[in-house]
Amino acid sequence: MIGWEFPPFMAGGLGIHCLELTTELAKQGVEIDFYMPRMEGSEGSERVGAQHRHLNIIEVEAEGGLTPYGPVGRRGYDEAFNAAVWQYNQRVKQAFSSRGVDLVHGHDWITADAAEAVARKIGKPFVWTCHSTEHDRSAGFFPQQWIIDAERRATREADRVIAVSSYTRQQLIDRYGGDPSKIDAVHNGVDFSKFANHVHRDYARGSKNVLYLSRVSRQKGPLFFMQAARKVLDVDPSARFVVAGKGEMLPECVEYAVRNGMVDRVTFTGFVPDAEVQRMYEGCDVYVLPSVSEPFGISVLEAMTSGLPTIVSKTTGVGEALRHVLRAEYWDTHEMADQIIRVLDSKALREELGRNGALEVRKFTWAACGRRTLDTYRRAAGAAPKEVAA
């Protein structure tokens, strides 16, 4: 398996996915060599491999200052970050030394080149997981063509493709010409042990706190959340809103609050440590994620696990498998505001969405993700063997 991040070195959900997936695969008897960059500061007991015993982590030397976020001091997919990714892929090809391999599994565009090259070199199947597309991450604003090309190539060249939702699977088919017969939708899971039991939630309190907890990036639609909040306040000035997270759109959201007279009704928390996330869910009455394009949406499952009534955009992948959520188009802030008002005004609706939603999300387990991924491995292994590269 070739990845980019692994706890404790993480930039987002990819690291958690790789940890949880490899843990479940190991339980099912899969032996895993996991290749990742050797991150700055990973010396001695700090080395990632020393902290995880269920797999064999191979840290590949990379450019000095490399982190899951890109070169130190930088954020986002700038030229330096893209160059670091290219270099990492070349070094993985050179460093690959695993024996007895049955298949090679790469995660996202960031590892696709190395995973394909290694698989072809040893004549084994190539499995590729698409966690999100460049169209998702950019929300349609200036997507990088070379990343699109990498995703298209991986979609077409992999022996099997895993998409984190049917929504993402359809994107790979429509945008990249992927073969529907070789793309499997495998949902992520949630670690239920990290979240409070929903039966303790008091749906009668009606504190009217509305939560946005995610990256404050264009993809996640935070400005649509702010616009819906303004419409709610026009009807119910007692409502309060929390924007939890950080990202490039945070200054724009703060400016919107100032311009629209909302500074006393909106709290911007900045980054929220994992230890504080549960407290955020417990202190609010409804969770809203108006993503422009959301391949999955693990935070949706976390909120629902806590019994928090939830509103999502119709372009949120996990919503395809949920019945006990409210949905709106991400751009339809009037409908979103109406839904928020209905939830805040009705104890019965809060309780119905909260309790039923908490039960419904129990089907999203990492064990199920592991089993379905192993099914994909078996399909890949049954494909026609590839010629070993010269």
- 100-112 per-position pLDDT tens digit: 999 999 999 999 9
Of the two residues 323 and 384, the one the predictor is more confident about is 323
Residue 388 lies in a domain: no
What average pLDDT does the chain have?
A: 88
Residue 170 lies in a domain: yes
Q: Is the pLDDT of residue 299 over 90?
A: no
Task: Please check whether residue 128 is in contact with residue 164, taking contact to mean a CB–CB distance below 8 angstroms.
Answer: no
Say which CATH number the domain at 162 has: 3.40.50.2000
Residue 171 lies in a domain: yes
Q: Are residues 165 and 196 in the same domain?
A: no
Q: Are residues 19 and 126 in the same domain?
A: yes
Looking at the whole model, is its pTM more than 0.85?
no
Q: Are residues 24 and 163 in the same domain?
A: yes
Residue 29 lies in a domain: yes
What pLDDT is attached to residue 47? 64
Q: Are residues 243 and 180 in the same domain?
A: no
Q: Is the pLDDT of residue 83 over 90?
A: no
In terms of Cα–Cα distance, which of 204, 128, 198 is closest to 169? Answer: 128
Q: Are residues 234 and 140 in the same domain?
A: no
Beta strands in 187-328 (DSSP E): 209-213, 240-244, 266-270, 286-289, 310-313, 326-328
- 128-167 per-position pLDDT tens digit: 999 989 988 887 778 889 999 999 999 999 999 999 999 8
Residue 282 lies in a domain: yes
Question: ∠232-234-237 over CA atoms, to 5°?
Answer: 80
Q: Are residues 147 and 269 in the same domain?
A: no
Q: Are residues 170 and 24 in the same domain?
A: yes
Q: Are residues 212 and 354 in the same domain?
A: yes
Q: How confident is the model at residue 73 (pLDDT cuts 50, 70, 90)?
A: very low
Residue 7 lies in a domain: no
Residue 8 lies in a domain: no
Q: Which range among 61-65, 95-99, 113-117, 260-264 shows the weakest confidence by mean pLDDT?
A: 61-65
Please list, in sequence order, all residues whose beta carbon lies within 8 angstroms of the beta carbon of residue 232, skipping any fewer than 6 positions away.
210, 239, 241, 337, 340, 341, 344
What pLDDT is attached to residue 71? 45
Structure-token pair, residue 119: 């698989």
Q: Are residues 154 and 202 in the same domain?
A: no
Q: Is the pLDDT of residue 253 over 90?
A: yes
Q: Are residues 46 and 185 in the same domain?
A: yes
Q: Which range among 72-76, 294-298, 348-352, 361-365 shows the weakest confidence by mean pLDDT?
A: 72-76
First to last CA, the chain: 22
- 320-344 per-position pLDDT tens digit: 778 899 999 999 999 999 999 999 9
**Are β-strands 104-107 and 160-163 bridged in parallel, bridged antiparallel, or unpaired?**
unpaired
What pLDDT is attached to residue 385? 47
What pLDDT is attached to residue 284? 95
- Residues 14, 17: Cα–Cα separation, whole Å: 5
For the chain, percent of residues with pLDDT exceeding 70: 88
Q: Are residues 146 and 134 in the same domain?
A: yes
- What Cα–Cα distance (Å) separates residue 105 from each residue in 117, 125, 198, 223, 329? 11, 9, 36, 36, 34
3-state class (DSSP) for residue 61: coil
What pLDDT is attached to residue 45? 43
What pLDDT is attached to residue 72? 40
* Mean pLDDT for the stretch of residues 184-188: 94
* Mean pLDDT for the stretch of residues 283-306: 88
Q: Are residues 132 and 209 in the same domain?
A: no
Q: Which domain holds residue 204?
A: 192-363
Residue 386 lies in a domain: no
* Mean pLDDT for the stretch of residues 341-365: 94
What pLDDT is attached to residue 294? 78
Q: How confident is the model at residue 277 (pLDDT cuts 50, 70, 90)?
A: confident
Q: How confident is the model at residue 64 (pLDDT cuts 50, 70, 90)?
A: low
Q: How confident is the model at residue 300 (pLDDT cuts 50, 70, 90)?
A: confident
* Mean pLDDT for the stretch of residues 288-312: 88
- 190-246 per-position pLDDT tens digit: 888 877 666 678 899 878 999 999 989 888 999 999 999 999 999 999 999 999 999
- 24-52 per-position pLDDT tens digit: 999 999 999 999 988 665 444 456 656 78
Amino acid at 377: Y
Domain count, the chain: 2
